[in-house]
Structure 1
Amino acid sequence: MKKLFQYNWTVRDEWFTVCEELSREELTKPRTGGMGSILRTLFHIIDVELSWARAILGKDDVSFVESDFTTIQDLRKLSEQYREDVIDAVSGRGIDLVKPGWMNQTFPKEDILRHILAHEIHHIGQLSVWAREIGIEPISANVVSRSHHKAAKKQHL
């Protein structure tokens, strides 16, 4: 599972690089699917990952004001700022049966980790569709030939 988290982070970082070239108008333009825009969808991916990771660790959820994150650089910083919590959750720390503060249900940690992975992959697919609509080559989804060296070195997973 660690390799898939590294994969997601590598792909996310590549999307950040591509999106840094887009105008604010393009990033916030209303779109069908996802969270309604490129910027909001990237924010949502990070927010969901962090919320679930902190629930696994028994920590309080961190509530962010979406309007405070108006650039790709803001989102990149947010993604990196709490990455250690995600690394701890993926590396086996935390509790095995998790009851997130925003729900009345309990979930196995392994199911939550799989959900985080699938959630991001789902939304990255939406970004790929939007990229094609605006004439940008999407980031490759290839897991087999993708290098994880940057993510592995940076993330210590």
Structure 2
Amino acid sequence: MKSLFLYNWQVRDEWFDVCAQLSHEELLKERTGGVGSILKTLFHIADVEYSWMLAAEGKEAAEPKFEDFATLSKVRALSDSYVTELRPLILSRSPERDGEIVKAAWHAEPLRYGEVAKHVIAHEIHHMGQLSVWAKELHVPRVSANFIGRGLGEQ
């Protein structure tokens, strides 16, 4: 699973680069799907990953407000800070932890660590597909969804 987190982080960074071509108005324009806009979707991706993975570690995350991060540079900085904090946790994680019980304050039932990690990975990939549709509509480059060729192997 480590390689899929690395994949998501690479792809997310590439989407930030693509989105830098768009105006602030385009980033905030309400769209069908996602959580309403390109910028809100990028914010949501980073926030969900961070909150779930901290919960999996038995920690709580402060819940950021989108209004405090309503520019591409601020969302990217937030994402970068989250990845910086999560990277050592994810990369040092052993597969034996997949069965550990995880409790998140916002989820009634206990979950397993592996289930949470897989949820976070799938969640981001789902939203990256939405970004691809919007990019096509806006005639801007789309980020490749290919895992092959990214140099991630079986990290």
What is the match of residue 102 of structure 1? 106
What is the match of residue 154 of structure 1? none
**Cα contact 1:49–1:86 (8 A) shared by 2:** no
For structure 2, the residue ranges without an aligned partner over 5 or more in a row are none
Which residues in structure 2 correspond to 1:67-78 (within 5 Å)? 67-78=67-78
TM superposition outliers: structure 1 runs of 4+ over 6 Å: none
* TM-score in terms of structure 2 length: 0.90
Aligned amino acid, residue 38 of structure 2 = I
For 1:135 and 1:41, locate their aligned partners in 2 and report how far apart those are by CA, in whole Å. 19
- Where 1:82 maps in the other structure, the secondary structure is helix
What is the match of residue 25 of structure 1? 25
What is the match of residue 135 of structure 1? 139
**Cα contact 1:56–1:89 (8 A) shared by 2:** no
Which residues in structure 2 correspond to 1:5-154 (within 5 Å)? 5-90=5-90, 91-92=92-93, 96-148=100-152
The Cα of 1:148 is off from its aligned counterpart by: 4.4
The Cα of 1:118 is off from its aligned counterpart by: 0.2
What is the match of residue 3 of structure 1? 3
For 1:23 and 1:2, locate their aligned partners in 2 and report how far apart those are by CA, in whole Å. 34
Aligned amino acid, residue 138 of structure 1 = R
Aligned amino acid, residue 128 of structure 2 = I
- Where 1:120 maps in the other structure, the secondary structure is helix
For 2:83 and 2:141, locate their aligned partners in 1 and report how far apart those are by CA, in whole Å. 27
The Cα of 1:61 is off from its aligned counterpart by: 2.3
Aligned amino acid, residue 121 of structure 1 = I
For 1:144 and 1:2, locate their aligned partners in 2 and report how far apart those are by CA, in whole Å. 15
For structure 1, the residue ranges without an aligned partner over 5 or more in a row are 150-156
**Could you give the per-residue CA deviations for residues 116-152 of structure 1, whole angstroms, max 9, x where no partner exists?**
0000000000000000001012100011122449xxx
Aligned amino acid, residue 112 of structure 1 = V
Which deviates more, 79-88 or 24-33? 79-88
CA RMSD of aligned residues (A): 1.9
For 2:73 and 2:8, locate their aligned partners in 1 and report how far apart those are by CA, in whole Å. 18
Aligned amino acid, residue 80 of structure 1 = D
The Cα of 1:21 is off from its aligned counterpart by: 1.6
* TM-score in terms of structure 1 length: 0.88
- How many aligned residue pairs are there? 150
**Could you give the per-residue CA deviations for residues 79-116 of structure 1, whole angstroms, max 9, x where no partner exists?**
11122442244232889210101121111000100000
